[in-house]
Structure 1
Amino acid sequence: MSKSLATWFTPSLQTISRSAGRSAVAAAAYRACVKLIDQTTGLIHDYTRKKGHVETLLIGADDISELWNKAEAAETRKNSTVARELMLPLPDQWTDNERRECVRDIAQHLRDTYGVAVSGSIHAPNRHDRNNHVHMMFTTRAVDEFGQFGKKTRILDDMKTGEVKRLREAICKIINDHAEKLDSDFYVYAGKFSDIDKNHIPTKHIPITAGKEYRAAITAQNTQVKIHLANVATHEKKAELLKAELSNASILETAESTPAPDAPKSVDVERIEATPPAELESPFKRKLMPEACERAYFKHQETLKKQQALKVIEDKWRAKHDELLANKPSSTQRLFSKIGLGTAKIERYDAELSKTEIHLTKIEHNKILFKKILSDKNALNLIAQYNAVIDHNASISDLEAQAFKAHSEKLERERELKEEQEREQATPAVDWTVGLDPTKEQNYSSKDIEFGR
């Protein structure tokens, strides 16, 4: 059975770290499309209106909120890695139940191998794409059967151990085993696809956080890759036809070298010359995107989004703070509270006011942090380089598209001209003397000749 390679599948292991300003609770809420409260910061992460979520499977835990709040509480350093994540493709032709069982086996493998707790959120494709996939979030610490967090799984932190490579291979085996049981041709591979398909040209994945310009540039680049893949397939087909023609020519040449006794000696067999397919060589050269520039760009974009979200949160808390100040208890009410009248009401007010002021203090701290990140001169220089590379590569894509179109039109004109020449050569010459009496003198005027008389 021919295998259908999942061409965008790279089972890469990512981390969710506080040093990048990320939270395991926020990430889990976004992937599971639920509302979770971060008990460390008090922030509410509500993604219940987000679409595309199918279901979330929990292995090693019973409650998603408790799991990831405990994961945050287990880490004390400000730059701790609080979770790991794998995003894996799932076959579009499988049913929801078949995809669910595959995800369950992968999550169980993570649990059995590393002792971690896992939440696997299965997402359906949107109406434009076919990309069923699952976000596998799992803890960085081992979790026992009672939900208590233990030691860090350091083996996945060091690439030299080879454990990440073994994990990828194990995941591929689980998915491919399920495909074989279901008689499906879906196939994933942990290495380079060029190991399987020598003509494979990889396309670049477009991150969710990609900006409009970056998305357009990468889309144009991936389109060019598909065009070149089609060219390769066409040239391979032409090569096969040329081999067949050369084989036929060789047979004819062999037959000519040993003619039959009654074959005329003067007959020459026209030799078929192979014409190599025309190659379209690109005179354009793209610039590689420096990794530092890409990191700076995405961090800047993520910080902008966090800044916007913080503004919404700040508006809510300031409105509540203003409301509390507008209804501030009078000095008389506080005096009476000292003798036991209205004490509970004053205490509730003070608690609410204190809570509001604490949140506003945290918000101010985050605002200063975001402003510092967004104004970093080194990062801004890297982002300027990033935009320059994107603009350059986008212009190269446009030029390549124009060159490819011109080249295709040229090849089409050459093909039509060749066919026309072949038709003219195949048309027999007209003998105008047929039907005339050679014994009689024929007199024609130039006018007769002109009108074919």
Structure 2
Amino acid sequence: MSKSLATWFTPSLQTISRSAGRSAVAAAAYRACVKLIDQTTGLIHDYTRKGGHVETILIGADDISELWNKAELAETRKNSTVARELMLPLPDQWTDNERRECVRDIAQHLRDTYGVAVSGSIHAPNRHDRNNHVHMMFTTRTVDIDGTFGKKTRILDDMKTGEVSKLREAICKIVNAHAEKLDSDFYVYAGKFSDIDKNHIPTKHIPINAGGGYRNAITAQNAQITIHRANLATHEKKAELLKAELSNASILTTPESTPAPDAPRSVDVEKVEATPPAELESPFKRKKIPHACEIAYQKHQETLKKREQLEQLSKQWHKKYDELLAHEPTRTQRIFAKIGLGTEKIERYDLELVRAKKALSDIEHNKTVYQKILGDKNSLALIEQYNAIVSHNAKLWEAEAQALLAHSQKLERERELKEEQEREQATPAVDWTVGLDPTEDRKSYPKDIELGR
């Protein structure tokens, strides 16, 4: 059974550290969608209303609150790393129970290998029934059977030890074992996909903060890559069929040679192998988008978005400023304010007016900055180059797809023609005179037999 490579499988390992202002109790409460009290600070972290949680699996502990409060108490330094987290995508096509068993085995592997306690919070998919994943938090110290925290597991601190790579490989092995047991075509790999498929064409990652134009351009490019992958697979399949046909034809058409009587038998006759068909050469050459062009395009899109938001904000402040001017206190009201009548109201008005003027001044300053960024000639040149390359590559993707389709159709027509010729050659000729006595009077036979009909 062919395996479907999970190209999105990127298990990421990160740390939860006090130096970044993070807390293991808060992180655990957020991922498990529960209410936890941090005993070291007294803070209450309540995420019971947060949706998207399926189940939290505990390995090496019985209570999530006790586990992570002990993890916090075990560390005394203000910049200590209090937990590690492993974020793992899960197969969307599996059932909840199948994903649960896989998560449990991964958590048990962490427990058995490093002696840590684990809480794995499985999160539900999105509205499109995709993006099933699990947040696996585990302690930075070993935890014995009684729940006592021991030494730090520093083997996972340094990427140079290679332990992180081993961990990823072990996780892939566990996931693939579950897939094989479930007869699923899901397959994950910890290394580069080009190691498995030399012709693998990678898609481009879209940053989470990418602008709309940049996102649409990369999405279109990735869609073309998907189409090209399918066409390339079709071409490779046709090429393999053609190789097999040429090899069989070479064997069938090679006459059996009979050595001459006087020729010495010790002479070796060199065997000529069938020449494999040449690979289809593409007349198209795609261009790689320079990194500077990508940065300029993305910055331009983000600036356009910020300028649009600034316009909305400017309208709101102008409206507020006009309202303030329309209700400006009169001279009489200000005179009474000096003697203590309506002073608070006048002061509040003056403060709001100052804030509105300051906001409008900042908005005008930002507009000038954005306009300068959007009008930068160097950036505009890079963006023009970016758009030209994207358009060029898109045209080549389409043209190459059409060329591959035409080539495949040509191979199919040649194969059908060859099969028809072979069938004609294999049909034996009919001898209509078989069984007739030539000495007999041919006039006694029907006329249609005489004519060979």
Tell me whether the two structures share a fold, i.e. TM-score over 0.5.
Answer: yes
Q: 2:233 aligns with which of 229, 236, 240?
A: 229
Any conservation in 2 of the 1:8–1:205 contact (CA below 8 Å)?
A: no
Matched residue, 1:364:
364
d(CA) in 2 for partners of 1:335, 1:121: 67
Cα-to-partner distance string for 1:49-100 (whole Å, 9 max, x where unaligned):
xxxx9479xx9xxxxxxxxxxxxxxxxxxxxxxxxxx99755323568969x
Matched residue, 2:430:
430
Instruction: Tell me if 1:346 matches 2:346.
Output: yes
How much has 1:384 moved relative to structure 2? 1.1
Superposed, 1:75-154 pairs within 5 Å as 89-93=89-93, 124-125=125-126, 127=128, 130-131=130-131
Matched residue, 1:216:
220
Amino acid in structure 2 at the alignment position of 1:227: N
d(CA) in 2 for partners of 1:369, 1:195: 47
Any conservation in 1 of the 2:287–2:389 contact (CA below 8 Å)?
A: yes
How much has 1:203 moved relative to structure 2? 2.7
CA 174–406 in structure 1, closer or farther in 2 if over 3 Å, else same:
closer
d(CA) in 2 for partners of 1:164, 1:312: 52
Query: Aligned to 1:285, what secondary structure does the other structure show?
Result: coil
How much has 1:204 moved relative to structure 2? 2.9
d(CA) in 1 for partners of 2:296, 2:324: 41
Instruction: Tell me if 1:385 matches 2:389.
Output: no
Matched residue, 2:203:
203
Matched residue, 2:416:
416
d(CA) in 1 for partners of 2:353, 2:419: 87
Any conservation in 2 of the 1:292–1:382 contact (CA below 8 Å)?
A: yes
d(CA) in 2 for partners of 1:3, 1:311: 51
TM-score where L is the length of structure 1? 0.57
CA 96–293 in structure 1, closer or farther in 2 if over 3 Å, else same:
farther
Matched residue, 2:293:
293
CA 171–426 in structure 1, closer or farther in 2 if over 3 Å, else same:
closer
d(CA) in 1 for partners of 2:363, 2:331: 30
d(CA) in 1 for partners of 2:330, 2:237: 83
CA 221–175 in structure 1, closer or farther in 2 if over 3 Å, else same:
closer
Q: CA RMSD in A?
A: 5.2
Superposed, 1:237-252 pairs within 5 Å as none
Any conservation in 1 of the 2:90–2:134 contact (CA below 8 Å)?
A: yes
Task: Give the percent of matched residue pairs that are identical in Structure 1 and Structure 2.
Answer: 56
CA 274–218 in structure 1, closer or farther in 2 if over 3 Å, else same:
same
CA 241–170 in structure 1, closer or farther in 2 if over 3 Å, else same:
farther
d(CA) in 2 for partners of 1:425, 1:125: 61
CA 272–422 in structure 1, closer or farther in 2 if over 3 Å, else same:
farther
CA 170–233 in structure 1, closer or farther in 2 if over 3 Å, else same:
farther
d(CA) in 2 for partners of 1:369, 1:55: 44
Cα-to-partner distance string for 1:225-246 (whole Å, 9 max, x where unaligned):
3321343356567778999x79
Any conservation in 2 of the 1:13–1:164 contact (CA below 8 Å)?
A: no
Matched residue, 1:69:
none
Amino acid in structure 1 at the alignment position of 2:345: K
How much has 1:382 moved relative to structure 2? 0.7
Query: Aligned to 1:228, what secondary structure does the other structure show?
Result: helix
Amino acid in structure 2 at the alignment position of 1:225: R
d(CA) in 2 for partners of 1:316, 1:237: 68
How much has 1:313 moved relative to structure 2? 1.4
The runs of 5 or more residues in structure 2 that have no matched partner are 15-30, 32-50, 55-63, 65-85, 111-120, 137-156, 259-270
Name the count of aligned residue pairs: 332
How much has 1:308 moved relative to structure 2? 0.8
d(CA) in 2 for partners of 1:121, 1:310: 39
Amino acid in structure 2 at the alignment position of 1:291: H
Matched residue, 1:308:
308
Any conservation in 2 of the 1:169–1:190 contact (CA below 8 Å)?
A: no
The runs of 5 or more residues in structure 1 that have no matched partner are 15-31, 33-52, 60-85, 110-119, 137-155, 257-270
Amino acid in structure 2 at the alignment position of 1:405: L
TM-score where L is the length of structure 2? 0.57
